Structure 1
Amino acid sequence: MRIDGSTLMLARPKLSRGTLAAIAAVESSAQFRHCLGLIAAETGASHHLLLLERHVRGESAPHVVASNWVYDTVQEIGADELQRHAQAMASAEASIQPGGAAPRGNATANAEGAARSWLHRLGHAEVHVLPVRDAWRRCHLFLSSPLAGSIDQAALPLARLACCYLLSRAPKGLFDDISADTLSERERECLHWVAEGKTAGEVAMILGVTANTVNSYLNHAIRKVGASNRAMAIASAIRAGMI
């Protein structure tokens, strides 16, 4: 069968106009997260996770910006472990060329294999990690599926570009939802003691304030980290290095 240039052009993966239009119209955090789902769907991935590279007081403090992974899975892995896996797997992705995989050192190959094996045990049979960035931020986009072979690898470069475009359209404040400097000292203390299993009354005695004041600090902390309850706020604060 003869294949001419026009046929090859038609065969190239393309982002749908709907996805591009949705990215261009992003004005809120909810729209941003919706667009991540659209980008993932363009590749055949059923799951996505966007991990922000971040440093606080000179130390690495990665943060999960958005994800449709099972919440318990994200908590079990933790942002630090996700970043280690992301770096190993993204390095492997970058070495794959159209003609095949370029030679990699044993250490890189072993790290990549360990990361994929571990994620497979958590229900992600196929995982790809794409490094993405805009002028201010560096992130890793995890695209995964419980079924091996369901992600179109030819669509990954476009997905990466689309995510970079989406990052540039991120609404103001999205990446400030969780910051090590967001919580006051008292809010951190209250979260810390509750994480240790103390009740509001016990925390009040420790800090020399009323239980109502402790509950007020906790409610402020929950709102600041974008959580829906104390357990999620504690998990997010620990992951971000706040407590």
Structure 2
Amino acid sequence: MIQPNSATGAVMETIRADVAPRESYGFPAVAGERKSGRELLVHQLGRCRDRASLPAGMRALTQYVNASHYLLVRHDMSFETDIGFVVASDWPFDMVRKLAGSISAAQSRMSEFDRCCKLMQPTFAQFADDVALPAGLSREYCAIAFNVGRVRMTLLLLFPEHYVLSQSKLRDTGLLVGYFASVCCQPTARQERESELTDREIECLYWIAEGKTSDDIAVILGISRNTINNYITSVMRKTGTRTRSEAIAWAVRNNLV
């Protein structure tokens, strides 16, 4: 068992047993039949997948791990312009906007190796003091990162105060959310077209990764420095990165350089 840091006080609620009645996941009870909570969750996610119902599946995952709110984000979208990085959420809107900067800053501080090591690993962080939380929620949240194809995503969970968490359920949630998101978050044709890099943009990425400046690349490719900068800007827009270093990391992660 693990328990995130929280204010001292009596534990208000303990974790549910791994064996749960069917009706707790929306299924009718069957006399003499009891299935584990994990089995019921897998069944529920299968039904949500068939209906392409991402919010319903996220609510089932949230309930399974005894969390109160979920936020699913993708890291190939900018965290600075709008909330297009949000895939699904039932968090209060103001909290999402407050947390966006923290998520983006934390990602930029990590190396690509660190990002890979943290995949599927639940991590905990504290909200800043200026973030107003709904009554009864812990100021600590849990984040689980995973990949859907080339897109890195993170599930962030809120919990009631003084809540004891099950490590095994968190691991289950990390694995199952990756599977569920992979079948429910397929990019549209328009998104795929927008994320495709041209040959010239990939060329520029390659030379940036080799440590070349815009002036160097302009000489190598025989085009103007402004054109090179326009290609690089286009690369960062398509990949949701903010700096050349982030663009290089994205290219390494996707085997482009």
TM range (shorter): 0.3 to 0.5
- TM-score of the aligned structures, taking structure 2 as reference length: 0.45
More helix by share: 1
- TM-score of the aligned structures, taking structure 1 as reference length: 0.47
